[in-house]
Each structure stands twice: as structure tokens, then as C-alpha cells.
Amino acid sequence: MFWILIALTATFATNVRSARAADEKERSFYEVLHDLLNDFEFDLKENRVSGLRDLAVRNIVVSENVPASFKSHLELVVTEKILGATKTRMVKCLQCRSKRAVLGRDQVRVSTPENNPIELARIAKMNGIQNFIDIAFSYQADSMVMSMGIADSETGSLVWSHSYDSETSKAGAARRGVDPESLEKSIRENEYFPTKQFRLLTYYFNEPDAGDRSSCLGIGGRFVERYDRKRKEVGIELDVIFNTSLVSGGSKVATATDNGSRLFSGFNLTPLFVHSWNFFGEEENFNQMRGTATVGIGGTYAPSFLGALIRGSYEWRLAKHWAVHLAVGYRPSSTTTISGPEREIKGIEYGVGVSAVF
């Protein structure tokens, strides 16, 4: 059973890599831009942007590999997001970006209001502008960055600034089914916030029993803390295992000659300390099946019995909240005196399970 589990795990890992490579495709320029604008729109709706009062676009800068005509398009789509998500009055300020040439002696000096704070403040007051927004757009083959800043028209002080990067775009991650938290590569240790996870489990086990083996059902819960960008989990699991005869209507009490159902026919608890390794590459994508390997150590307690247990499992996580498991465990030699003479319980447990992740 153990070698079958290893073979299935290797096959699954190969299939995941193949599926991921086949599923990856190039995204168009405007799809990525749309993701960045959606991130900006989300900040607008969440009131995370300051200085949204009588606003005007002052300056737009794009990287050299972007046509100058793209500036007009970028201004319009940013304005569209602001008007759609807020009640801000947008002012069209042509004078803000106009150039003025002055002839002095044998030189011609060209100036803009941006380089002349007094002139810019005069234009803003004349047009009823209270804040200016500046936009810087950079495009590379593997990334896109849109930076914005809002400044007070009178003092020139910056009241809000933010950069939107396609590599960390939450809108793009959500569209691809990726968990945005798995993309946070820049979180330092002192900024770590633990992510806790709870799941409900149900198992079918074939268990070593007092001189025999028992078919059992198990229900339990697992509470873990995820760390290392959700690639590892550590916590506790608590299971209750009972013989299937309790469900099917069979005898609940073992006789002296019937060694089955002896341990799992009554109250018992199986606590385990577990550690898991999640295999989802650089990002967790809810549209793809992910694998998780778990090792747990603990034991089973029942009246007149206390025995150790080592359990390993591999799960296939589906969508965001569901997973199926294969589990193999080993119970070292322990003795029981339940309803009769002392009997030894040891051997391998194996089973399958389903869990709901919260």
C-alpha cells in the first residue's frame, strides 16, 4: 500500500507539471492593463485613495517602448475608473501641460507650468482645481507597472501615492484563480501575519484491532497555521474512530471470542501533531489540483488503552475548499485490557478520506 501511494504521488506531480505548462498562455497587453486598473478601482471603492476632490490630470509619462499616443488612452481609462467608483469632479486642464516659449537675448527658454509652481497654482485656482494626479506607466516584456501620485494644488505636497505591478496584481490573480496571498514575496519576518486554517475530515480506515482487524469510520478536525507563503502547515488534528458495526446495526459489544470491534466499539480519541508540505509551485491556483503531504505523530486513547500512532497522508486539493486523501499509519505494539484479558494491538492502518477546508 505504501509503494502504491508513492507511485500515485509521483504520477500526480508529473500530471500537475504537464497541466500547468499546457495551461499557461500569454496574456495580451490590454488584459494586463485591465488588471492594474481593476486594482486601482478596488482601492477607490475601498476609500484607500486620498485627495479625490476637484481633480485634474497634470502629467503622464510612459516608457520609451510605448507610443506617445497611448497617453491619451491611459488618461481616459484612469478617468473612467475614478468617475465610475467615486463622485469626484474631474477637471480637464489643458493649460497644465502647455508649453511657453520666451525669447531672451539670444536664447529661447521653454517652460511649463509644472516647472513653475506659482503659475501652476494660478491655473489651478482659475479652474477650480484642488488636487493634481500624475501617472507614470512602464511596460516591459515580462511586467507592467503603473504608478500614480496625487498632490495638493496649493502647497504641492503629495497626499497619496501608489504603484500597481502586474506581478502582484490581485485582480489578475483572482481572474486566474490564484490565491493573492501566495504572491506576497516581499513580506519580511517582522511583518508576518499567521494564516490559520480549519478543516473537517471524514475517513474510512482499516484498523488493527485486538487480535483482528476492523473496518472503521472516522470523523475529525484539523487546525493548522500556514507559513512560508502558505507552503507549509503545522498544527493539531483530533479524530474519533468507530467501528462500522455501530452504523450498520451490528453488535456493539465484543464477546470474549470476538476480537474485532474491541477497541473502536466505544469512546476513543486520536490526537495528532501534524506538519504538512504544500506543492503548488510559485503560486497557489484554485483552478488547478494541488498536492499536500502530511506527517502526524500522536496516539489513540480509549478506556483501558493508550497506544501510539504515526500517520502519513497525501491529499489532492480540489477547487478552494475540498480535498481527498490517502492515509497510511503504523501503530506500535500496545496492549489493551478492554472487556477481558490483555491483548496486543499493533500493525498498519490505511484508508481514504474527504475534507472540507475553511
Whole-number pLDDT of residue 184: 56
36 and 120 co-located in one domain: yes
Domain boundary among 146, 175, 204: 175
344 and 224 co-located in one domain: yes
Asked if residue 350 is part of any domain, the answer here is yes
235 and 306 co-located in one domain: yes
Phi-psi region of 98 (alpha: psi -120 to 50; beta: other; left: phi over 0): beta
Query: What whole-number distance in Å separates Cα of residue 189 and Cα of residue 56?
Result: 40
157 and 199 co-located in one domain: no
Domain boundary among 175, 204, 237: 175
Asked if residue 233 is part of any domain, the answer here is yes
Q: Which residues contact 134 (CB under 8 A, 6 or more apart)?
A: 57, 58, 59, 60, 61, 148, 149, 150, 151
Q: Look at residue 321 and give its three-state secondary structure.
A: coil
334 and 201 co-located in one domain: yes
Total domain count, the chain: 2
Asked if residue 23 is part of any domain, the answer here is no
> How close are the terminal C-alpha atoms of the chain, in Å?
30
Q: Which residues contact 94 (CB under 8 A, 6 or more apart)?
A: none
Confidence bin at 297 (pLDDT 50/70/90): very high
- Tens-place pLDDT, residues 243-277: 887 776 655 444 433 444 467 888 889 999 999 99
Confidence bin at 16 (pLDDT 50/70/90): very low
Query: What whole-number distance in Å separates Cα of residue 145 and Cα of residue 21?
Result: 25
Asked if residue 48 is part of any domain, the answer here is yes
Confidence bin at 209 (pLDDT 50/70/90): confident
**Higher pLDDT, residue 136 or 107:** 136
Confidence bin at 22 (pLDDT 50/70/90): very low
212 and 341 co-located in one domain: yes
333 and 198 co-located in one domain: yes
Contact 173, 285 (CB under 8 A): no
Whole-number pLDDT of residue 261: 45
Domain boundary among 140, 175, 210: 175
- Tens-place pLDDT, residues 150-207: 999 888 889 999 999 887 777 666 666 666 665 555 444 444 566 889 999 999 999 9
145 and 294 co-located in one domain: no
What is the value of pTM for the model shown?
0.54
56 and 120 co-located in one domain: yes
Q: Which residues contact 332 (CB under 8 A, 6 or more apart)?
A: 307, 308, 310, 346
196 and 154 co-located in one domain: no
- Tens-place pLDDT, residues 176-191: 666 666 555 544 444 4
The parent domain of residue 33 ranges over 29-175
- Tens-place pLDDT, residues 23-78: 445 678 888 888 889 889 988 988 889 999 899 998 899 999 899 889 999 999 99
169 and 251 co-located in one domain: no
162 and 225 co-located in one domain: no
Confidence bin at 5 (pLDDT 50/70/90): very low
Confidence bin at 122 (pLDDT 50/70/90): confident
Cβ density class 151-177: b for 16+ within 10 Å, e for less:
bbbeeeeeebeeebbbebbbbbbeebe
**Higher pLDDT, residue 11 or 126:** 126
Residue 299: C-alpha distances to residues 211, 238, 273 (Å): 19, 10, 10
Residues 292-306, mean pLDDT to the nearest whole number = 91
